[in-house]
Every structure is written in C-alpha cells, then in structure tokens.
Chains A and B, each alone.
Chain A
Amino acid sequence: MHESIPDIPTRERSGAFWVKFGGAQAACAVGGLVATGVALQLALDGRGVPAPAWPYGGALLAAFCALIALAARLSRAGGLLLALSEVPVTLACFGALGALGAVAGTLPQHPPAEPSLAAKLGAHAVTTSWPFVLTLLLLLTNLGIALLRRIFPWRAGSARFALGHLGLWLALAAGTFGSGDIERVRLEVREGAATVHGVAPDGTPVEMPFGLRLLDFRLEEYPPALTYLDTENGAMLWQKGDPRLEVVPGASGAWKHLRVEVEEVVPRAVATPEGGYAAGVNPDAPSAARLTVADTVSGKTERGWVVGGAAETLPKSLVVGRVAVTLAKPRPKSFLSQVTLFTPDGASRDATIEVNAPASVAGWRVYQLGYDDKRGPGSDLSTFEAVRDPWLPAVYAGIFLLIAGAAGMILGGSKALFAEKEETR
C-alpha cells in the first residue's frame, strides 16, 4: 500500500471519500476540471483562452507563484492542499493531457471552413482550449507545490528531484505565461532595397526597431528530376516512393515500363532555331534535357527534348504511349540572403541569414523564410520572419535543467531514482 516518506508530513488516509485522496479522487477532480473547461468553451461560444501579453502575463505568473507558495505553506497542515501536491493528481493530469493531446495530434489544428460543434469545443485548437489550459495550470500547481515541499527544507535527494522537475516547471510556466508576448513578423525585401516594415500574422503592418537591406539573395537547386504525366487527363503518374531519376548527363534509370537515358542537359535553356536548346544567361529559364525513352512493353523508342515549365519558356514533354515524360520543378538545395542590419543606435553590420542560421538584432531573431518560388534561382525577392520571444531565456534555462536531469537519469538508473522508495519498503 502507499507508504509515507519519513520527514515529510502526511495526511490521514482513512475516512470519507474526499479525505482519503487517492487515484479515484484525483481522477474525479481532474474530470470535473475538464468538464468545467468544456462548459467554458460552450459558454464563450468556442473562444479559447486568450494569451495575456506583458505586463498582464507577468502579473498573472507572479500571482500564480504566490498562490503556489501559499498552498505549499498551508499544505504542511495536511488535508486537500497536500493532496494537491501528490502523485495521483500528477497521473490524472497526465491522463487528461494525454487524451486532449491525442485529439490535437489526430485532428487538423486549424479552424475548419464550416463552424461545427467540434470546433466550438476547441477540438481544432486544443492547446488554447479551456479544458487543456485548466489542466495544464493544475499540473503546474501540483508540480510547483511538490517542488517547494521537496526543496524546503533542502535534504538528500532534493537536488536530483529539482533538476528535472524545476526544469520542466520553468519551461512550461514561461512557455505558457509568455505565449502572449511572442511576436512574429513577416518581412519582404527585394535585392538592393531596405525595409523597416513588416506584417503581423493577422495582417496588421508593424514597424520594426531595426532596418534590413537585402544585398544579395542566392538559391542553389538540386538537378531537376523526371516526372511522368497521363496524356489523357494530365494526372501525375509518378508517385512518392517511385524511383526518382535526377537529370544529369549520362544518367539512366527505369520507371514502370519505361527505360530512360539522359543524353544532354542544358541549364537556363533557350530554344535554338534548329529546334534544340542552348544555355542562356536568364537565371529564370528552366533546364532542358535530351532523353531517350524506351517502352519495354511496346518496344518503341522515342528521342527528344524535355523542358520544365517556367517564365518565357514553354514546357515540353516527350510522349511515349499514354505517358508524357517531363521535368519536375527542381527542389531547393540551399538558399541564403546577404543583408545589412541597421540597429536603433545608428550602427549597421552585415550578416548572412539562411535556414537554420538566423541573425539576432535588437532583441529579434531574423529567419530566412522563402523567396519568389515562381522564379526560383532568378528570385530577387527574399522573405524573412522576425521573431521576438522575451521569455526565451527562462524557457531555455528550463530545457537545460531538464537536459541535466535526463543525463542524471541515464547515469543514475532506476536505483537512484527510486532510492527512497526502496528504503521505505
């Protein structure tokens, strides 16, 4: 049965239903909380929990911390507040969050076109719905009181308990109460131009505290691959998982009943009067390739040019039976922007921004987002996303504590984790 830990005050575990607070009572309490959340969802006509911005988010967090500290102090007398800090509540919350998370992981998480009961209940925005947020707050309360009880007074095992638990509490609390302060702004700049203006996700224009000039945008692409279309209805016949032949000179391969050889590849192709293609200078022009395609069923062989569709060059395919062979749009291999960043104090510096390598300026991080993908390598437009998250240091501190706790688990194993439990057996 449940054994109490020495030197931690315990509760009376017999008596009426709510006095003996175990798994069943925790499940009822969390179930009631989720039901309250559902009722709020319906009463507010499907509006989820608003994310408070600074200073309200910070004030709410401060009040929340004060309540947790008070509850931890009062829990010394035992009773329901002590029960609030115990593992049954943790497990009930995990169960509820798991169930709500399964909904979030299964249904698309964006508003559906038609209003529906599911949408009203928050099934398409689970993580901002009332049931989810209320359960998360209960989990934070549970963990917060448990933490305070385990580290005041400091004793053997406190450090090990604190690493993972404090880490998770910090990351969760900062992530939750700080979510209203995250700003994401989209910036679009053409080569040679500069901007201080961006657009928020809801479409409102935003003036940034920094300026950005695009010096150069560069895109490198993979060689184009062959694709296959149905000549009768234009449907794409090539499917994910089929062999993919990259068009480089000398390449050969098979797809279904066709054998393809690539004889010649011309980048930035322009049509020649003789009916062939030659390399030009226009970066917007697609590649052309001369192929031999053999149909192994009918025994027919076709030779000719294929060209990917792009500005100022007509697409061209090679037809073999019912199949048109042509070039698919090449995939981007890498793209980067060379920029000058202007800071509010009048200074400026050059930076290279690419995917996975954002630049930091004036409290913002600027990410490479995209480019004009109709033009591909010829794009002179680069789009960026500037992100500001003032709570990030707290979240990161939490994540790094969690990492330290995880390393401790890998090296300490279950004996260390459950040490006190073994002693009390």
Chain B
Amino acid sequence: MNAWSHLPVFAATAGACWAAALALDARGHRAAPWVHAAGVAAVAGFVALLAWSLGRPPLRTLGETRLMYALWLSLAGAVVAARWRMPWVRAYATVTAAAFLGFTAMHPETHDKTLMPALRSAWFVPHVSVYLLAYALLSAASLAGLRGLLRRDEAGAREALRVADNAVVIGFGFLTLGLSFGALWAKEAWGHYWAWDPKETWALLTWLGYLSHLHLRALRRDLVRPALAYLVAAWVVLLLCWFGVNYFPSAETSVHTYAR
C-alpha cells in the first residue's frame, strides 16, 4: 500500500477544518480552536499512517519533511494562540502549514526526493519550525514597538510595550528552543554541539539581543520609549542574521549555506 495516495483526502480535510476555524475566528466564535485541532488531528493521522506503512519516522525525504512542518506549525501555532488569545499566530501558522501541505499534495515527485544526508535528523523539522514561530513573534513585537514609538501619548506607548513584551517573551522562548534543538542536532550531525559557524554566531547574537531586552526590562521598568526603540534595533540584527550572513567574508567556511 502506498500511504501517499491517501494524502489528498487528509490534506483536504485539514484544509477545510483550518479554513472553517479561520472563518470562525473572524467572528470571534469559541469553537475555532477545536475546529483547528480537528485539522491538526487529520495531519497527525496521516503522519501516523505514513510512519506505519514506511516502518520508520517520516523524516528522510522532502515530502516527508514538509508534512512534518505542517504538523509542527499548526500544533505549536494553535498552542500559542489558545494560551495567549493571539488568533493571528494561528492564522500565520495555519497559512504556512497549509502551504506546506498543499505543495506536498500537488507535487508527488517530492515524496521520494531524498534530503541531503546532513538534513536527515529528527531535530531538523522542530528546529526550523520553532524558528519560523520565533521570527514571526519577534517581528510582531518589533512592529508593536514601532507603533508604540509613533504614539504621542504615554499611555499608548506603555500599552504597546506591554503587548510587545509578551510577544518578546514567547518569541524568545521559541528562539531558545530553536537554538537548543540546533545544538542537539549539530552534535548528531557534526560531532559537536557548537562550532562557532558564522550562521550559529549570528543566531547567538540575535538571541543575546533579545535576552538583553528582557534584562533591560527587568532592571528598568520605567524606561518605555528607549525599550521600544531597542526592540526595533534588535529586529535589524534578526534580519541581518536571517538574510545577511551569506554575504559576510566569514561565510566562505559556513556549513549552513546548503545551496553550494
């Protein structure tokens, strides 16, 4: 039996549930998280079916990896949204997960396309998924920071910082998970958990940037506008890490520029 042939049914079920959940969300309906969860269950069901038919965890091919992204993102996004009443996190995670799922369903040639050896690890998908969530939350925090800076009234700025702070704490939690999963994966793949590879170094600097914000906030609750401005600056480091690393002189020795 080829389990992949059942994917369209599961994917369509998940997609329908998620679309319904988004529609319910728009009306503020309380059933939205449960309908979303039904969609996650459909993906989990397919992953279980696939794992059972393969006789191993589905982590080796491009198609399998994309499937696991859909599962991780839709699950983690729903947890954050439910815990923090941030429906936008679920919307973001859902759209991303649905894109992964739809792409996998429509491109059967990716189902058996083996990943390059170093990427085939149980840590790979969780590592990338939590980073996707961390970047989204931290970017949202910095946008909230920018909005707060533009407010003229003190109360408005304070409220923006309160919203931003919570997004930073949650986003930083995911960033820490991403860094830790990356270290565990590196140990399995390259023999050491930390190699000061340029990409790792810039990821650490991003982490330090937001860690400094948390400590600054713990030290001086009274500084509002400087904290908002700091968040915007930390975002620049994040973007530099995300997009810029490949252009630095140090990148010639990076193991993380896979495209070569």
Contact = CB atoms under 8 A, between A and B. Distances in A.
Interface of A: 1-3, 87-88, 90-91, 94-95, 97-98, 101-102, 104-110, 126-127, 164, 175, 182, 184, 220, 222, 240-241, 331-335, 354-358, 365, 367, 385, 387, 389, 392, 395-396, 399, 402-403, 405-415, 417-418, 421, 425
Interface stretch (B17-25, B143-151, B187-195): B187-195
A98 B189 contact: no
Ranked 10 nearest A-B pairs via Cβ: A409-B173, A355-B117, A105-B201, A406-B176, A410-B173, A414-B165, A87-B219, A387-B191, A414-B169, A406-B173
A109 B250 contact: yes
A136 to B, nearest CB: 12
B169 A2 contact: no
B220 A175 contact: no
B245 A105 contact: yes
A86 B174 CA distance: 26
A182 B193 contact: no
Given A2-B220, A385-B191, A108 B249 contact: yes
B50 interface: no
Interface in B176-204: 176-177, 180, 183-184, 187-194, 196, 198, 201-202, 204
24 contacts: A1-B222, A87-B218, A98-B209, A98-B212, A105-B201, A105-B245, A106-B249, A109-B196, A220-B114, A334-B120, A355-B120, A355-B189, A358-B191, A392-B187, A399-B180, A402-B176, A402-B180, A403-B177, A406-B173, A406-B177, A408-B173, A410-B177, A417-B218, A425-B221
B248 A106 contact: yes
Contact of B208 (A101, A222, A406): A101
Given A1-B222, A101-B208, A102-B205, A413 B166 contact: yes
B170 interface: yes
A1 B219 CA distance: 9
Interface in B199-237: 201-202, 204-205, 208-209, 211-212, 214-222
Contacts of B121: 356
Given A334-B114, A406-B177, 16 more contacts: A1-B222, A91-B212, A105-B205, A105-B245, A106-B250, A331-B116, A334-B120, A355-B118, A355-B120, A356-B117, A402-B176, A407-B177, A409-B176, A410-B173, A418-B165, A418-B218
B114 A333 contact: yes
Contacts of B212: 91, 94-95, 98
Interface in B154-174: 162, 165-166, 168-170, 172-174
Nearest to A126: B196
A182 B222 contact: no
A104 B201 contact: yes
B153 interface: no
Interface residues of B, number: 59
B83 interface: yes
A334 B214 contact: no
A335 B117 contact: yes
B107 interface: no
Given A2-B219, A94-B211, A387-B192, A406 B180 contact: yes
A3 B208 CA distance: 25
Contacts of A222: 114
A347 to B, nearest CB: 24
B209 A91 contact: no
Contacts of A101: 201, 204-205, 208
A95 to B, nearest CB: 7
Nearest to B187: A392
Contacts of A241: 259
Contacts of A91: 212, 215-216, 219
Contacts of A2: 219-220
B219 A88 contact: yes
B253 interface: yes
Contacts of B211: 94
Contacts of A333: 114, 116-117
Central interface residue in A90, A106, A333, A356, by most chain B CB within 10 Å: A356
Interface in B63-103: 79-80, 83-84
Contacts of A406: 172-174, 176-177, 180
Nearest to B60: A334
Contact of B188 (A90, A335, A356, A415): A356
Contacts of B259: 240-241
